A and B are shown apart, each in its own frame.
Chain A
Amino acid sequence: GAVVSQHPSRVICKSGTSVKIECRSLDFQATTMFWYRQFPKKSLMLMATSNEGSKATYEQGVEKDKFLINHASLTLSTLTVTSAHPEDSSFYICSARDGTTGRENQPQHFGDGTRLSIL
């Protein structure tokens, strides 16, 4: 079945550091990937839609200069949290759907998430 790999699974770093999270679709091509943030015991908050070969679309209230998204290929999207601070600590999850023509009804598949802790 479709697999989305997210790396790293956990990051602990000092305030001011920039952190890059990778999201890969392993056995399908994804023209669109999604980045979410999840707070403890809460639902997922969509941060942005990552579009292959073009700029990401950010949700209202999400700082695009803070959360840089790059989707340079059909199988890889990256989220970089720039100059991270303790309030950026959270669980970040990506998802992707097979964009092949004829597979429009396929579900989104999720990575295993990245636990980011900023000290």
Chain B
Amino acid sequence: AQSVAQPEDQVNVAEGNPLTVKCTYSVSGNPYLFWYVQYPNRGLQFLLKYITGDNLVKGSYGFEAEFNKSQTSFHLKKPSALVSDSALYFCAVRDKGTDKLIFGTGTRLQVFP
């Protein structure tokens, strides 16, 4: 069965510092991986995806993620965090057969001024 894991419930970082939100996956074959962000009482906003190609994927709002096949990871990164980045972040993998997204448990990012 396919799955993703987000080992951290919460990540705290000071504004201006780099941030990393971790995600590891378990799939058969090549994964389709996604990162979404959720602000309070809102739906999910798409940040970036990895389907194929370059391992470093750039997305919205200055975020990027690195696909690492040997470590089965897809960590989300940003060089300089903003207070407005504080939100709930979800990693997901797409089941290619059903098109369903399988989500991780989410990581709350808190950026302090």
Contacts and interface: CB of A to CB of B under 8 A. Distances in A.
- Give the dominant DSSP class at A's interface: strand
Contacts of A4: 43
Contacts of A111: 43
B46 A115 contact: no
Nearest to B43: A110
B51 A105 contact: yes
A32 interface: yes
Interface of B: 32, 34, 36, 41-46, 49, 51, 90, 98-101, 103-106
12 contacts: A34-B100, A34-B101, A44-B90, A46-B100, A49-B99, A95-B101, A105-B51, A107-B49, A110-B36, A110-B44, A111-B43, A115-B41
Interface of A: 4, 6, 32, 34, 42-44, 46, 49, 91, 93, 95, 97, 105, 107-113, 115
